[in-house]
Chain A
Amino acid sequence: MRSDAILNDAARGSSDPRQRRPIPAWVATTALLLPTYGWLTLAVLLPLLTMFVFSFMSATPMGKTPIVFTLKHYRAFIDQPYLINIAWTSLVIGFWTTLLCAVFGFLAAVALARATVGRMRETLLVLLLLPFWTNGLVRVFSWTMVLRENGFLDGVVDMVLPDIGSISFLYTRYAVVLGLVHGYLPYMILTCYIALSTIDDAIIEAAASLGARWWTILLRILLPLAAPGLISGAVLTFVPVIGSFMEPRILGGKVGVTMGTVIEDQFTQAFNWPLGAALSFTLLAVVLAIFATFSGVLRRGTTA
């Protein structure tokens, strides 16, 4: 609304002979940025701020318990040392998921960008996006059907190799990582594909004509040039994965205890929103610290 008014004024100003001075650049910039920042404030900053305030309260601010300011929830990792193990588990799951997504996602994107053309490529892209149209819960539950003892996987294995017995691995960390990789792989493929499709064919032809083998082209040309896509894909995967709770809970069974499930328990079972909020912010701080540590690599990668 406000930006419209300012733009109208600006338009009128230029046709009005009495007022020739153009509006200052900062006004136009502010007006144009206002919707974006307004939206960010509403959708990101305010909810985060609310949770941040919650994290200093002694009890959930509903019901009749008196509320006082406290820092005790931020001491959770000291008071309940087992949380450190859980956080470590979450990071390890996040690491493996991101790594597997990066390997398979990058190779799939290379295949898509370099080995297909025209309609074929469009069809494959749509097929990649199809899983996004189904509910994540459905995808995860179908994995339980496949992975459980005497499930689909065991059935197939039994047909091929009847003597091997059950190889069911439902309720293990492998199952959790498998479910997460399945869920987040499309992000990685898309970001890598976008980065790869901007590479000029002439560069690759030049390399090939100079005698470079396919692995040299892959490692020395495609990989560095597509690094921005790979890195943004890794960030897009890693951050939600370490906070995930649905996949660990359903596919992990009793071993599916992660920061995500602990935080979810605080909100839904224990009704301890302040502790849940404090744990979320601690996790956020850890993620930011990890990114800060690797900021050099990240910056070099994204500007290459």
Chain B
Amino acid sequence: MTEITRRNALKLMSATLIAGAGVSMLPGMAFAAGTITVLNWQGYGTDEAWSIKAFQEATGIEVVHDYYSSEAEMLTKLRTNPGTYDLVVLNAARCAQAMAEDLISPIDYAKVPNISSVAENLRSNENFNKDGVGYAVPWVWGLTAIAMREGLPKADSYAVFGDPAYKGRVGLQDDAVGAIAAAALLTGQDMNNPKDLDLVKETLKGFKSNVKLLWSTEDQWNKSFAAKEFDVAMYWSGGAVRSRRVSKLPVDFVVPKEGGIGWVDGLGIPVGAPNAEGAHAFANWMIDPKFYVEWATKAGAPASANTAAMESLPADDLSRQIHKPEYISSMSIMSALPDDRREAFNNLWQEVKAFYAE
């Protein structure tokens, strides 16, 4: 009698799946096939339905998604589910961490031809490279700064979060790193390694009477802003474009004199990815000017790391207007934090939140 072991059953199941998938995709097969699993924030570029459809028609690769709601959760998923994901969207700071923990593998740039026009200072960013080998395809960049209700005088400093004129009208992000970065920049410190954490803590505590809401998702930001719960908030530049274009909200995005809190998101391929070939193809698709222009004009997007893609946008495009090239030089880019500093940041933010709650 044949034993139906788990392995046999799995083999049988995957054989059936592949056979089924192969037959159904025959007309579209170009150079690679199968399925890739992408791990990303929800509603963040990779899961645009039209793009997934076009990609499948062009390559025969089906794109499925799993989502995370915080970067720590993304790392947890990579650590606990090896061999599940083919492509992961990771922030430069987290990329360095994932690289150090051997969670992601080197990129074969030959399979990503669009890399040739990606801004060199983004590609050679220390967070994306180890020993001269690139571990991620720089995808998009943007910055966190201040979003204000249209018609209000434009703030020129993060001090607006403590301005008595906005009592109970401020929304901060429920994120230790972001909140501490704003307070560190305001007090003239290096946001990745502030020397005077007590000053940062006191600065954040000083926002207490202004803080109405600690938001954690873009959806929450939009709903609360639409319900007029706050007028001034920390916000992502890409989110501001989407809020204006998609939700028709009267949002002004302002970069203060201290500079924005910059970030670069990359596309990494986890170690043990079942379909690395397909993941490279999708990464190339993601920085393709054709995809980018459609993404940016249809939904609103952060600035592409691919200069050719940015230049293909119409001159009056909101995203192009918000992501001015000069912001790249004035902004500080978030780097990876050592464990003890991260813990100190988290404890500080927990204490500030407890103070806000009193």
Tell me, yes or no, whether B100 is within 8 Å of chain A by CB. Answer: yes
A89 with B357, Cβ < 8 A, contacts A63-B79, A254-B212 known: yes
B343, A272: Cβ atoms under 8 Å? yes
Query: Quick one: CB contact mask for A83-117 with B, threshold 8 Å, 1 for yes?
Result: 10110010000000000000000000000000000
A269 with B357, Cβ < 8 A, contacts A80-B347, A150-B227, A262-B350 known: no
Question: How many residues of A are counted as interface, with CB atoms below 8 angstroms from the partner's CB atoms?
Answer: 29
A80 to B354, CA, bound (A): 11
Tell me, yes or no, whether B190 is within 8 Å of chain A by CB. Answer: no
Closest-CB distance, A186 to chain B (whole angstroms):
28
**Chain A, residue nearest B80 (CB):** A62
A149, B356: Cβ atoms under 8 Å? no
Tell me, yes or no, whether B73 is within 8 Å of chain A by CB. Answer: yes
- Cross-interface CB contact of A80 among B70, B80, B342, B350, cutoff 8 Å: B350
B213, A271: Cβ atoms under 8 Å? no
A256, B357: Cβ atoms under 8 Å? yes
Query: Quick one: CB contact mask for B54-81 with A, threshold 8 Å, 1 for yes?
Result: 0000000000000001101101100110
Closest-CB distance, B84 to chain A (whole angstroms):
15
A268 to B77, CA, bound (A): 11
A253 with B213, Cβ < 8 A, contacts A62-B79, A65-B339, A149-B229 known: yes
Tell me, yes or no, whether B211 is within 8 Å of chain A by CB. Answer: yes
Q: Which residues of B contact A62 (CB under 8 A)?
A: 76, 79-80
Q: Which residues of B contact A193 (CB under 8 A)?
A: none
Tell me, yes or no, whether A192 is within 8 Å of chain B by CB. Answer: no
Within 8 A of A (CB), among B305-358: 339, 342-343, 346-347, 350-351, 353-358
Within 8 A of A (CB), among B184-241: 211-214, 227-229
Closest-CB distance, B166 to chain A (whole angstroms):
15
A268 with B73, Cβ < 8 A, contacts A148-B229, A149-B228, A171-B212 known: yes
Q: Which residues of B contact A271 (CB under 8 A)?
A: 72, 75-76
Tell me, yes or no, whether B176 is within 8 Å of chain A by CB. Answer: yes
Closest-CB distance, A101 to chain B (whole angstroms):
23
Closest-CB distance, B67 to chain A (whole angstroms):
13
A257 to B214, CA, bound (A): 11
B213, A171: Cβ atoms under 8 Å? yes
Interface of B is mostly: helix
B75, A82: Cβ atoms under 8 Å? no
Closest-CB distance, A158 to chain B (whole angstroms):
15
- Cross-interface CB contact of B227 among A83, A148, A262, A269, cutoff 8 Å: A148
Most A CB contacts (10 A, CB to CB) among B80, B227, B342, B355 go to B227
A63 to B78, CA, bound (A): 10
Tell me, yes or no, whether B101 is within 8 Å of chain A by CB. Answer: yes
- Cross-interface CB contact of A85 among B100, B101, B212, B354, cutoff 8 Å: B354
Closest-CB distance, B350 to chain A (whole angstroms):
6
Closest-CB distance, A65 to chain B (whole angstroms):
7
Most A CB contacts (10 A, CB to CB) among B213, B353, B357 go to B357
B212, A253: Cβ atoms under 8 Å? yes
Closest-CB distance, A299 to chain B (whole angstroms):
36
A64, B214: Cβ atoms under 8 Å? no
Tell me, yes or no, whether A230 is within 8 Å of chain B by CB. Answer: no
B227, A254: Cβ atoms under 8 Å? no
A198 to B163, CA, bound (A): 63
A59, B339: Cβ atoms under 8 Å? yes
A269 with B70, Cβ < 8 A, contacts A63-B79, A149-B228, A254-B213 known: yes
Within 8 A of B (CB), among A64-78: 64-65
Most B CB contacts (10 A, CB to CB) among A59, A150, A265, A271 go to A271
A82 to B356, CA, bound (A): 11
Closest-CB distance, B122 to chain A (whole angstroms):
26
A141 to B357, CA, bound (A): 21
- Cross-interface CB contact of A254 among B69, B100, B357, cutoff 8 Å: B357
A64, B357: Cβ atoms under 8 Å? no
- Cross-interface CB contact of B101 among A64, A80, A252, cutoff 8 Å: A64
A132 to B8, CA, bound (A): 41
**Chain A, residue nearest B72 (CB):** A271
A114 to B229, CA, bound (A): 46
A256 to B102, CA, bound (A): 37
Tell me, yes or no, whether A44 is within 8 Å of chain B by CB. Answer: no
Q: Which residues of B contact A48 (CB under 8 A)?
A: none
A262 to B354, CA, bound (A): 9
B72, A268: Cβ atoms under 8 Å? yes
Q: Which residues of B contact A89 (CB under 8 A)?
A: 357
Q: Which residues of A contact B351 (CB under 8 A)?
A: 80, 82
A256 to B357, CA, bound (A): 7
8 more CB-based (< 8 A) A-B contacts, given A253-B214, A272-B346: A62-B80, A86-B354, A86-B357, A149-B229, A171-B212, A254-B214, A255-B357, A268-B76
Q: Pull 21 A–B residue pairs with CB atoms less than 8 Å apart, ordered by A.
A: A62-B79, A63-B79, A64-B101, A80-B347, A82-B351, A86-B354, A89-B357, A148-B227, A149-B229, A150-B227, A150-B228, A151-B227, A171-B212, A253-B213, A255-B356, A255-B357, A257-B356, A269-B70, A270-B72, A271-B75, A272-B346
Would you list the 5 A-B pairs with minimal beta carbon distance, nearest first?
A: A257-B357, A270-B346, A62-B79, A82-B354, A271-B72
Give A residues with C-beta under 8 Å from B: 59, 62-65, 80, 82-83, 85-86, 89, 148-151, 171, 252-257, 262, 265, 268-272
